[in-house]
Amino acid sequence: MATTATTTSPADHAYRVCLIGSGGVGTIASLVLSKSRQAHVTAVLRSKFQYVSEHGWDIESIDHGTLQGWKPHRVVGSAAEAAVEDGKKVEFDYVVVCTKQLPDRNPVAPMIEPIMTAGRTTVVLIQNGIGIEDEIVAAWPTNTVMSSVSHIGSGIEEPNKVVQVGKDVSKMGVHYGPSSVVASTESSTSESGAEAEKTNVEKRAKAEAFVSMYNAGGAHICELVDDIEAARWEKLLWNGTFNTVCALTRSDVGEIQRSKGRETLLLPMMWEIWHIAEASGHALPDTIVQWMAYRLPDDCAYRASMLLDLENSRPMELEVILGNPLKVAKRLGVATPVMDVVYKLLQVEAWKIEQQGKK
Amino acid sequence: MATTATTTSPADHAYRVCLIGSGGVGTIASLVLSKSRQAHVTAVLRSKFQYVSEHGWDIESIDHGTLQGWKPHRVVGSAAEAAVEDGKKVEFDYVVVCTKQLPDRNPVAPMIEPIMTAGRTTVVLIQNGIGIEDEIVAAWPTNTVMSSVSHIGSGIEEPNKVVQVGKDVSKMGVHYGPSSVVASTESSTSESGAEAEKTNVEKRAKAEAFVSMYNAGGAHICELVDDIEAARWEKLLWNGTFNTVCALTRSDVGEIQRSKGRETLLLPMMWEIWHIAEASGHALPDTIVQWMAYRLPDDCAYRASMLLDLENSRPMELEVILGNPLKVAKRLGVATPVMDVVYKLLQVEAWKIEQQGKK
């Protein structure tokens, strides 16, 4: 077991990795990390534990081919179970979180608490949204927090099949803080400049090791970037606009485009997001909005994830996709007239989904 | 046949009335006018002509009791047919329009053109929305145009049953112009003050005669008001808010209220409408917003008409309910951030409904 995460040529299965959230994204991540031979991977499964621990996963992957009954090194039914092996507390180097981002319903910090070692375990959030690092930083202020912006296309077919149709392309990077959601003064630390510099070098090394491992495992492209927040805002140009408006209007991508909703709603919303990103110190190129708005054809029948959630009365990732960005906008004085209304309308939908869940 | 509409005690069936649009509202109006004994009523039916001309209407009405196979004096299949009787052009005193307000798809002026006599026929619009008088004034500038704000609850059960559950309560009044939608300078006339005054007295007399007839026919309450525009804006406080947001979020009234959508969306929209009304010279009382927002109980399962239209892929009255009020707001410089976005979202829904219709 590695005692430091900065090792550049780790021994076989040197890193202890615990992965939580085994949907389409998480299961491929567990496969990639296992294939790297640098990690011993424990996967925490909840609803699927019984079936998968018996049958494994059947995987059809554009990156990894076909696998039958595949399992990571260890499959457990809870984080508490993952935390103990042979009667001893496991000290994980990395905890990789691939769950849906539902801070009100299923916050990440309590979920991973049993598998965290303060000052040691690096948290890797492969999740959507803005401001998702805050609760981790608050709970473990000296640990490294990274996040990934993934463009993989991968889903689950019941009960245990993973179909990955879109290549595993992602950006990863360290969250250096301060928080983008709460006022930055609250997040300032008492570290001196030199100490902070040293800490950041260590954080960066942990991220480098993880990205190196992820690429060694056969991911299509995993890029380590200096400003992962900018990449998160860039992805929000899609998730905060197409995803939300398609959900609200029960439209596929092509319908929004052909109806001119792209021009009346999505472009104004994209510029609102662009301006929040700029005001928060993560300026995106001017050209990105046009590219993001016009990259898909007008007959694109893609149904966004939030639309599928809404149609199936599943909780939507509304708070991290619109709620948190709007908090940032408010703090920084950025006008968001369209996002405001779309958010409030989707809050009505979220309330209805919550009522469904209570039945 | 009456030669002047100002007669206060008209002979039996003195007024020639043509009514177009026989849904729940229009059929009860044709019954009321027939029962008044002051009007000879011709009803123009389109899809229902064949069945109703043979079987009549079966009516269950809170105001009028139960009627089997009831028909107005004359039932015809088109306005062109209504216009000619015994080989002669009929000169109608009143044309009553109870169709759905769909200016792009089914404008009223061409629809009633065959049954209009310039300078004579008074048009009575029993319809939703703002700015609906403009096309009539443009086509027949010397005719009287009235409108009605109706709170009747009445609907059709196929093929020929009318069920009226809510009493026939309405306000009626003369549209004196100028247009609220287009700039008022375009509508100014060259009449002198005295001439305009005389014209307005004549218009008012025609409205009085119609309201008197409507009350004589057993409507629950029909009130003649000086400022019918104010009554139209007041009804828009409901139609522009509950109706539109319930449609967009597929919610009944209670769901919007319990989800707090009333506070986040409807109240801001109501104040936007209140301010447009004020800016256009039809100030409403301050207390009306609170009353309109909180008059229904939180378990109210009422499904608004626009929601029913949307769910059944029928055209929605979006342009007269939000499109025209937003034109007025723009002309008068009233801020409408919430209405703007709700309108644009419903335009996407309207486009989808239109595509359905093309299949």
The upper half-sphere exposure of residue B325, i.e. CA atoms within 13 Å in the direction of its Cβ, equals 38
DSSP per residue, B110-162 = HHHGGG--TTTPEEEEE--SSSTTHHHHHH-TTS-EEEEEE--EEEEETTTEE
Q: What is the pLDDT of residue B57?
A: 98
| A335 and B CB contact within 8 Å | no
Asked whether the CA dihedral B255, B257, B260, B266 is positive or negative, the reply is positive
Q: What is the pLDDT of residue B359?
A: 74
CA distance A229 to chain B (A): 28
Instruction: Give me B51's structure tokens.
Output: 């069945």
Mean pLDDT of B140-156: 95
Among A248, A337, A345, beta carbon nearest to B337:
A337
| B254 and A CB contact within 8 Å | no
Confidence check: pLDDT of B186 > 80: no
Q: What is the pLDDT of residue B299?
A: 97
Taking alpha carbons only, the member of B118, B119, B79, B71 closest to residue B96 is: B79
**3-class secondary-structure state, position A74:** strand
Between chains, do B261 and A344 touch, taking CB under 8 Å as contact? Answer: yes
Between chains, do B261 and A348 touch, taking CB under 8 Å as contact? Answer: yes
Q: What is the pLDDT of residue A358?
A: 84
Q: What is the pLDDT of residue A5?
A: 44
Asked if B319 and B262 touch (Cβ cutoff 8 Å), the reply is no
- Select from A241, A256, A259, A263 the residue whose CB has the most chain B CBs within 10 Å, as the one to mutate to test that interface: A259
Q: What is the pLDDT of residue A3?
A: 42
| B251 and A CB contact within 8 Å | yes
Instruction: Give me B276's structure tokens.
Output: 């447009």
Q: What is the pLDDT of residue B192?
A: 78
Taking alpha carbons only, the member of A231, A338, A336, A222 closest to residue A284 is: A231
Mean pLDDT of B296-318: 97
Chain B residues touching A247 at Cβ < 8 A: none
Mean pLDDT of A109-118: 98
Chain A residues touching B256 at Cβ < 8 A: 348
pLDDT in tens, A26-72: 999 999 999 999 999 999 999 999 999 999 999 999 999 999 999 99
Q: Report all structural domains of chain B as residue ranges with CATH numbers, in order of start.
A: 15-225 (3.40.50.720), 231-358 (1.10.1040.10)
Between chains, do A260 and B351 touch, taking CB under 8 Å as contact? Answer: yes
Mean pLDDT of B35-56: 96
| B352 and A CB contact within 8 Å | yes
Chain B residues touching A349 at Cβ < 8 A: 249
pLDDT in tens, A245-296: 999 999 999 999 999 999 999 999 999 999 999 999 999 999 999 999 999 9
Among A248, A264, A348, beta carbon nearest to B251:
A348
Confidence check: pLDDT of A6 > 50: no
Look up the ipTM and state it.
0.91
Q: pLDDT category, A160, cuts 50, 70, 90? A: very high
pLDDT in tens, B7-24: 445 677 799 999 999 899
Angle at CA of residue A253, ends A252 and A257, nearest 5°: 120
Mean pLDDT of A122-148: 97
Mean pLDDT of B294-307: 96
Q: pLDDT category, B177, cuts 50, 70, 90? A: confident
